[in-house]
Structure 1
Amino acid sequence: MATLLQRRRLKQTLQQQLDSTNGDLKALPCVLASETQTYNGREYTIVQWDGPDDPQNPRNWPSSRKWFATFLVALLAGLVGACAPIDSPIFPQAAKQFGVSEVSESLSVGIFLIGFGFGALIAGPVSEVLGRSVTYLSNVFSMCIWIMAAALAPNFGAQMVFRFLAGLSGASPLVCAGGTISDMFTPLEKTYTFAFFSLGGFAGPALGPVMSAWVPDSPYLHTWRWSEWIALLFSGVVFFLLLAFQPETFEPVLLEWKAESLRKLTGNDSYRALHEVEGVSIGQRLQVALGRPFVLAWHEPIIQVATLYLTVNYIILFTFFDGYTTIFQDTYDLSTGMTYTLFVGIAVGFITAGIYMPLVYSKTCKAARAAEAEGRKSFDPEVRLWFGMLGAPAVPISLFWMAWTAYPSISIWSPLIASVLFGHGFITIFITVYMYLIDSYQAYAASGLTFITLVRYVASGGMVVVGIPFYNNMGTHWTITILACISLLLTPMPYVFYKFGHRIRMRSPYASNKKILA
Structure 2
Amino acid sequence: MVHGHEKEQGKTLARTPEDSLQANDPDNPFNWSPTKKWSVTLVACYVTFIVGFNATALTAAVNETNAQFHISDASFPHSVWPVTAWNTGGALAPMVVLPIMEDYGTRPGYLITYFLFVIFVIPQAVAQNFATFIVCRFFAGCCGAVLQDAMDGIIADIWAEATQRSLPVSCYVFALLAGVSIGPVVGGAIMESLSWRWIFYTQLVIYGGSAPIVFLIFRETRCPIILSRRKKRNHQHPPELDDANPNTPNTAKHPIPLTALKAFLASNILRPLLLLTTEPVVASFTLLSALSYGLLFLATQSVPQVYAALYAFSEPSTGLIQASIVVGEVLGFLACASIGDPYFARASAGTARILGGPPQLPEVRLYLAIPASFIGLAGGLFVYGWTAYADVTFWAPAVGLLLVGFGSVVVMQAIMMYITDAYAKYAASASAAVCFGENMAAAFLPLASQSMYSNLRFHWASSLLAFVAVALSCAPVVLVWKGRAIREKSPFMREAMVG
TM-score interval, normalised by the smaller of the two chains = 0.7 to 0.9
In the TM superposition, 1:117-516 aligns within 5 A as 117-185=91-159, 186-218=161-193, 221=194, 223-262=195-234, 264=235, 268-269=236-237, 274-280=248-254, 288-293=263-268, 294-299=270-275, 301=279, 302-353=281-332, 354-370=334-350, 380-393=361-374, 394-511=376-493, 513=495
Q: In structure 2, what is the Cα distance between the partners aligned to 1:461 and 1:173?
A: 18
Contact between 2:148 and 2:176, CA under 8 Å: does it hold in 1? no
SS in 1 for 2:427: helix
Q: Which amino acid aligns with 1:395?
A: L
Q: Secondary structure at the match of 1:279?
A: coil
CA–CA separation in structure 2 for the residues paired with 1:358 and 1:282: 50
Taking the aligned partners of 1:280 and 1:441, their CA distance within structure 2 comes to: 28
CA deviation after TM superposition for structure 1 residue 400, in Å:
0.7
Specify the SS of the correspondent of 2:389.
Answer: coil
Compared CA separation, residues 184 and 231, structure 1 to 2 (3 A): same
Kept in 2: contact 1:94–1:224 (CA 8 A):
yes
The correspondence of residues 94-133 of structure 1 with structure 2, limited to 5 A, is 94-102=65-73, 103-133=77-107
Unpaired runs of 5+ residues, structure 2, are 1-17, 242-247, 353-358
Give the TM-score taking structure 1 as reference length.
Answer: 0.81
AA aligned opposite 2:251: V
Q: Is the 8 A contact 2:97 2:146 kept in 1?
A: yes
* Percent identical residues: 24
Report the CA distance shift for 1:134/1:396 in structure 2 as closer, same or farther (over 3 A). same
Contact 2:284 2:472 survives alignment (8 Å): no
> Bigger shift: 431-440 or 285-294?
285-294
Alpha-carbon distance in 2 for matches of 1:128, 1:357: 29
Name whichever of 405-414 and 162-171 sits farther off.
Answer: 405-414
Q: Residue 41 of structure 2 aligns with which residue?
A: 70
In the alignment, the residues of structure 1 paired with residue 157 and residue 136 of structure 2 have an alpha-carbon distance, to the nearest angstrom, of 33
Q: Quick one: distance in 1 between partners of 2:307 and 2:482?
A: 42
Deviation string, structure 1 residues 374-394 (Cα, Å, up to 9, x no partner): xxxx98332222331242222
Structure 2 counterpart of 1:439, one-letter code? D
For residues 386-416 of structure 1, give each alpha carbon's deviation from its aligned partner in whole angstroms, at most 9, with x where no partner exists: 3312422221111111211122212222222
Contact 1:347 1:423 in 2 (8 A): yes
Contact 2:232 2:238 in 1 (8 A): no
Aligned mates of 1:128, 1:512 — CA distance in 2: 27
CA distance, structure 1, for counterparts of residue 91 and residue 180 of structure 2: 15
Deviation at 1:209, TM superposition (A): 0.9
Cα distance, 1:298–1:331 mapped onto 2, change above 3 Å:
same
Deviation at 1:144, TM superposition (A): 1.1
Structure 2 SS opposite 1:148: helix
CA drift of 1:183 comes to 1.5
Separation of aligned partners in 2, 1:130 and 1:502:
38
The answer to whether the Cα contact below 8 Å between 1:296 and 1:510 also exists between their aligned partners in 2 is no
Whether the 8 Å contact between 1:117 and 1:454 is mirrored in structure 2 is yes
For residues 94 and 359 of structure 1, do their structure 2 counterparts lie closer, same or farther at Cα, with a shift above 3 Å needed? closer
Taking a change above 3 Å as real, the CA distance of residues 507 and 139 of structure 1, as seen in their structure-2 partners, is farther
Contact 1:77/1:202 (8 A) holds in 2? no
SS of equivalent residue, structure 2 residue 189: coil
Residues 272, 320 of structure 1: alpha-carbon distance in 2 compared, 3 angstrom cutoff? closer
Comparing 307-316 with 244-253, which one deviates more in the overlay?
307-316
State the alpha-carbon separation in 1 of the partners of residues 319 and 398 from structure 2: 12
| 1:275 match: secondary structure | strand
How far off its partner does 1:287 sit? Answer: 5.6
- Give how far 1:514 is off: 5.3
Per the alignment, in what secondary structure is the counterpart of residue 54 of structure 1?
coil
Deviates more, 1:391-400 or 1:269-278: 269-278
**Deviations 1:187-228 (Å, cap 9, x if unpaired)?**
11112221122222321011111111134442xx3x322222
Counterpart residue type for residue 180 of structure 2: P
Q: Deviations over 1:17-59 (max 9, x none)?
A: xxxxxxxxxxxxxxxxxxxxxxxxxxxxx98433x33221111
Q: Matched residue of 1:334: which SS?
A: coil
The answer for unaligned runs of 5 or more in structure 1 is: 1-45, 373-377
Change (3 A) 1:269 1:77: closer
Q: C-alpha deviations, 1:443-492, integer Å up to 9, x for none?
A: 54334322322233123212222212222222222211111111111111
- Equivalents in 1 of 2:491, 2:392: separation in Å? 54
Which moves more between the two structures, 291-300 or 475-484?
291-300
- Please state whether the residue corresponding to 2:452 is helix, strand or coil: helix
Aligned counterpart, 1:79: 50
TM-score, scaled relative to structure 2: 0.84
Aligned length: 459
CA contact (8 A) 1:90 1:215 kept: no
Q: Please tell me whether Structure 1 or Structure 2 has the larger radius of gyration of its CA atoms.
A: 1
**Contact 2:93/2:143 (<8 A) preserved:** yes
Letter aligned with residue 292 of structure 2: N
Closer/same/farther in 2, CA of residues 216 and 415 from structure 1, 3 Å limit: same
Please say if residues 147 and 232 of structure 1, whose CA atoms lie closer than 8 Å, have aligned partners that are also in contact: yes
